[in-house]
Amino acid sequence: MHSRHVKLFHSWLYRWLAASLLSVFASYPVLSMAADWNIDQLMQSLSQTKLGHAKFTEKKYIAMLDRPVESSGELLYSAPDHLEKRTVKPRPETMVVDGNQMTIERGSQRRTVQLQEYPELAGFIDSIRGTLAGDRKALERSFKLNLEGGPEHWTLTLFPLDAKLARNVHLIRITGSHDNIRTMEIIEPDGDHSVMSIERMSAQ
C-alpha cells in the first residue's frame, strides 16, 4: 500500500546517498605510505583499517542560497561493512549502513531500505568498498581514477563511469596526507557542491 510514497522518497534517496556514503568511507585513516606512491599503494594502505572514528564538518554550496549550509557530527566505520553517519547539527540525523541494509532516522521517522534494490547505487557502494578493501578492480568498474600529489598531500579523484551515477555526481575528490583523509568534495553536475572536512579521532 505504501510503495507509491516510498518510490517518491527513494527516487530522491539515491541522489544523496552516494554523497553521504563516500563521506563515511573517507573518515578513516590511511596507513603510512611506501616510497613508490601510486594508487595500488593507497589501496593497500586503506585496506588495513578495521575501525575508524572521526568528526566531520560539511558545507554545502547551493546556488539558490547566499551562503553554504553547514552540518557537523561524527562518522564511524567498522570492517567489513558497517558504516554510520551521525549528524548532530543543525538537526540530529543518523544514517547506518550495515551490509546491504541502510537505515535512516530523523526525528520520529525511520526508514530501512535494501541497497540491492538500487543496482546503480549498489555498484557505487561496492566500488567504494572495493577501494577500502584495496580492490582496485572493483573500484575501476564504476569510476575512472586519478591520483595526484605525493604522500604528503595527495588527491584522489573519482569520475563516475555509469551514466545513472553521473546524473547525480560529476566527480568526487578526496584529499589526504599520509594515512589521513582530510577532505572529501562532491561536485554535482549543476555546479552545486559540498565539502566535508574530516578530523580523525581514533583508528585501529
Partner 1 sequence: MKSRARWVAIAGWLLGVAVCCVIISRTVFTADLSAFLPQSPTKEQQVLLDQLRDGMISRLILIGIEGGDASTRAALSKQIASELRADPAFVTVNNGEAVNTERDQAYLFNNRYLLSSAVTPERFTVSGLHDAISDTIDLLASPAGMMIKPLLPRDPTGEIVHLIEQMNGDTRPQMYDGAWTSRDGLRAILLAQTKATGADTNGQQKAMARIQDAFSSATKKIGPSAASAKLIMTGPGVFSVRSRDTIEHEATKFSLIGTAIIISLLLLVYRSITALALGLLPVISGALVGVTAVSLGFGVVHGITLGFGTTLIGEAVDYSIYLFVQSRQANTSEGKASSNWDADFWPTIRLGVLTSIVGFASLLVSSFPGLAQLGLYSIAGLTAAAAVTRFVLPHLLPVNFRIRDVSAIGLRLAVAARHAPKLRWPIIILSLAAFAIVALHRTTLWNSELSSLSPVSQQDQMTDARLRADMGAPDVRYLIVISGESRDAVLQSAEKVGVQLQKLVSQGTLATFESPARYLPSIATQRARQANLPGDDLEQRLVKATQGLPVRASVFSPFLSDIAASKHRSLLQRSDLDNTSLALAVDSLLFQRGTQWTAMLPLTAPSSEKLSQGIAVEPIRAALAASGQTNALFVDLKAESDHLYSGYLKQAIWLSLAGLGGIVILLAFSLRSATNTVRVLLPLVAAVICIVAALVLCGQRLTILHLIGLLLIVAVGSNYALFFSSRNADEIGVSPQTLTSLVFANLTTVAGFGLLGFSHVPVLNAIGTTVGPGAVLALVFSAIFSRQIAPQSMREK
Residue selected from 19, 42, 75, 198 as contacting partner 1 according to rule CB under 8 A: 19
Residues 6+ apart with CB under 8 A from 31: 45, 46, 48, 49, 179
Question: Minimum distance between the CB of residue 154 and partner 1, rounded to whole angstroms?
Answer: 26
Is the separation of the CB atoms in 27 and 56 below 8 Å? yes
Binds partner 1 by CB under 8 A, chosen from 55, 82, 86, 111: 111
Q: Is residue 202 part of the contact set for partner 1 (CB under 8 A)? A: no
Stretch near partner 1 under the rule CB under 8 A, chosen from 59-67, 75-83, 156-164, 196-204: 59-67
How many Cα atoms sit within 13 Å of 155 on the Cβ side? 8
CA gap 154, 178 in Å, rounded: 8
The yes or no reply on residue 163 touching partner 1 (CB under 8 A) is no
Measured from the CB atom, the residue of 11 and 146 that comes closer to partner 1 is 11
Dihedral of alpha carbons 172, 175, 181, 185, sign: negative
Q: Please tell me whether the peptide bond between 151 and the residue prior to it is cis, using omega within 30 degrees of 0.
A: no
User: Does the footprint of partner 1 cover residue 64 (CB under 8 A)?
Assistant: yes
Smallest distance from partner 1 to CB 24, Å: 10
Segment contacting partner 1 (CB under 8 A): 36-44, 55-63, 155-163, 173-181? Answer: 55-63
Alpha-carbon gap, residue 27 to 194, rounded angstroms:
15
Q: Does residue 150 interact with partner 1 by CB under 8 A?
A: no
Residue 80: other Cβ atoms inside 10 A? 10
Q: Is 66 in the site for partner 1 (CB under 8 A)?
A: yes
Name the residue nearer to partner 1 (CB basis): 6 or 34. 6
